[in-house]
Structure 1
């Protein structure tokens, strides 16, 4: 076993600017802070590994006021360790050395160190997305806003060739949201367009089942997090009685007893956001436990830049997904990093003829 020592770590902050006001049931996002983690050997500085650490406001366990200071302190600590060249061992070393309560930093270090080990090409492990340019089907995301804005997005996604549409709901009048779903179904059947909805915990336990029954009229594939996370008994009851399959999202954040949560709630699906869950290893463990219980899953980005999105796409590809993933966030920002990632025809592609912009 040989180890890697004298590695240097650094980070670069960028504030990404949304192309529009991104509405959720928790408020409107206009900007998004991300930190790109850089790792290199000072004796061979041309080979650089890049990762991304980007806690999400209102959701991430490590979204804290002094995050940048904490991140820099962790990176200084990382310079005192030796790192194994075996990727699997390296991932376990990160888990041992970075607290569970810093999930986005864990993920950023996983990205950066695996990228460095693999030659600094922004490839993290074997996967068809990067290695064979096999596109991944994704859902077209419809952001909250007034009815006209959401209708405009729906028409655009349908014209772009998406056959899976996901609507964020819970911010405008529920009747108007039903009208939007009715509009889609008036044009496309369940066989033509798969519909997902994401409530981001907007429903109360008392009203949730009634609303789910109304939504079910439109042949909905699944609903993400209909009620707020942490209401375990209420969520369990909903999962047993809902006419629409329920997918846990926020419910997974900060949970160490994964099996206990899945056994208590027994959802139909789970949504994996590696930035919020702690990275590759944590996400794969959630999937292993879910599959053992017959629970479905898919991967979703948490509004990362293209560096983080690339990593999540490669993780999803390595696990051979069978349904559309939530990886359509690359076009959200005015100042995202230019990359080989391209969304077309309802899929995300890795274009080898396109170059990465250098982070700065």
Structure 2
């Protein structure tokens, strides 16, 4: 079997300004990689390359040139599936984690018949859902309160709030109001600072946040400050989850060193940022060996990437809510069987929508 690769760009349009402490996003440029068997071009495997500007190491001006190079290499050399697997492990794609994720999942999809069923499990068969958190985006106080009311009315029992952009007193007031409505027995609250706290102020802020019985805080300080992060994880009143800290840490020895030195309570895995599903599985193995908790999160992919991540996640015996509730963010997402019901993600019997080039 020899393979043919095509690349389709698609600009996703947010329904609102998606704000984090790093700024606002209105669009998200993604690329769909489609793999076909040259002897049977009716079957197509699809993967999504969706690096995030300002975060992904491969959100670079030469990304499209790299995709063209990859496309030419696959098509001109008549690469086989085994050679794609070798390519995924090569140094050539080490610095392109979003491309690795897309190529890896496109191959998985192709090998399983091009049905967008990458893993046969209870989730992909519609028999079981995945618990997810409701994501509350940064905005003014009224906007955030409106989101919170909506998520609670929809049945979520876990909310994740983006913090670090508003005045800290305002953010504490929002948490106070939530806790007046729902205590920790009824509602789990996570917060994500996206590295917004300065190291010298972080512990004091964690102490004030701890009054609201939070499940965890993601990346309280900017990545790349291991000594300060180690100290925070050792003495924090709130469990700390590493997120951005994992980006670009590709080699197993560096991953071991990071986990053994910082000793976080949790790690958060985004396949687009860490290099794919196998790369995520490697992180999970290291974390579980050290009794470090973990959960999976999308990196604002469309439903193509979200579908792959969700099916992969369902291979594990999960109990905590996952960060997989992002399918409703875009005006022009790809229609999919992924449906949310009362804080659970389900895969229902719905026909997939067409990709942009097929529209």
- TM-score bracket for this pair, using the shorter chain length: over 0.9
Q: Does 1:311 align with 2:305?
A: no
Q: 1:135 aligns with which of 123, 129, 135?
A: 129
Residue equivalent to 2:296: 299
Residue equivalent to 2:259: 262
Range with greater deviation from structure 2 (44-53 or 127-136) = 127-136
Q: 2:103 aligns with which of 91, 105, 109?
A: 109
Rounded Cα–Cα distance in structure 1 between residues aligned with 2:313 and 2:59: 25
Residue equivalent to 1:61: 57
Q: 2:167 aligns with which of 163, 173, 187?
A: 173
Residue equivalent to 2:88: 94
Q: 2:157 aligns with which of 154, 163, 171?
A: 163
Q: 1:158-188, CA deviations, whole angstroms, 9 ceiling, x for partnerless residues?
A: 0000000000000001111011111111011
What is the aligned residue count? 352
Rounded Cα–Cα distance in structure 2 between residues aligned with 1:227 and 1:52: 29
Residue equivalent to 1:324: 321
Q: Does 1:12 align with 2:12?
A: no
Rounded Cα–Cα distance in structure 2 between residues aligned with 1:100 and 1:131: 33
Residue equivalent to 2:336: 339
Relative to structure 1, the CA distance from residue 98 to residue 309 in structure 2 (aligned partners, 3 Å threshold; closer, same or farther) is: farther
Q: 1:10-37, CA deviations, whole angstroms, 9 ceiling, x for partnerless residues?
A: 0111100100011100000000000011
Residue equivalent to 1:208: 202
Which consecutive unaligned segments of at least 5 residues does structure 1 have?
Answer: none
Q: What SS does the corresponding residue of 1:19 show, helix, strand or coil?
A: strand
Q: 1:35 aligns with which of 31, 34, 40?
A: 31
Q: What SS does the corresponding residue of 1:72 show, helix, strand or coil?
A: helix
Q: 1:193 aligns with which of 187, 200, 214?
A: 187
Q: What SS does the corresponding residue of 2:93 show, helix, strand or coil?
A: coil
Rounded Cα–Cα distance in structure 1 between residues aligned with 2:121 and 2:156: 23
Q: 1:271-292, CA deviations, whole angstroms, 9 ceiling, x for partnerless residues?
A: 0000000001110000000000
Rounded Cα–Cα distance in structure 1 between residues aligned with 2:54 and 2:182: 35
Given that residues 133 and 351 in structure 1 are in contact (C-alpha distance below 8 angstroms), is that contact kept between their aligned partners in structure 2?
no
Q: 1:51-78, CA deviations, whole angstroms, 9 ceiling, x for partnerless residues?
A: 1001111111111012112112112212
Rounded Cα–Cα distance in structure 2 between residues aligned with 1:22 and 1:32: 10
State the shift of 1:92 in Å: 5.3
Q: What SS does the corresponding residue of 2:10 show, helix, strand or coil?
A: strand
Rounded Cα–Cα distance in structure 1 between residues aligned with 2:292 and 2:74: 36
Q: What SS does the corresponding residue of 2:138 show, helix, strand or coil?
A: coil
Output the TM-score relative to the length of structure 2.
Answer: 0.95
Which consecutive unaligned segments of at least 5 residues does structure 2 have?
Answer: none
Rounded Cα–Cα distance in structure 1 between residues aligned with 2:85 and 2:309: 15
Q: What SS does the corresponding residue of 1:130 show, helix, strand or coil?
A: coil
Given that residues 192 and 218 in structure 2 are in contact (C-alpha distance below 8 angstroms), is that contact kept between their aligned partners in structure 1?
yes
Rounded Cα–Cα distance in structure 1 between residues aligned with 2:88 and 2:238: 38
Rounded Cα–Cα distance in structure 1 between residues aligned with 2:78 and 2:190: 44
State the shift of 1:94 in Å: 2.0
Rounded Cα–Cα distance in structure 2 between residues aligned with 1:312 and 1:96: 22
Q: Does 1:276 align with 2:273?
A: yes
Q: Does 1:349 align with 2:346?
A: yes
Q: 1:167-223, CA deviations, whole angstroms, 9 ceiling, x for partnerless residues?
A: 000000111101111111101111100000000000000000000000000000000
Output the TM-score relative to the length of structure 1.
Answer: 0.95
Given that residues 216 and 239 in structure 2 are in contact (C-alpha distance below 8 angstroms), is that contact kept between their aligned partners in structure 1?
yes
Q: Does 1:50 align with 2:46?
A: yes
State the shift of 1:329 in Å: 0.5
Given that residues 125 and 347 in structure 2 are in contact (C-alpha distance below 8 angstroms), is that contact kept between their aligned partners in structure 1?
no
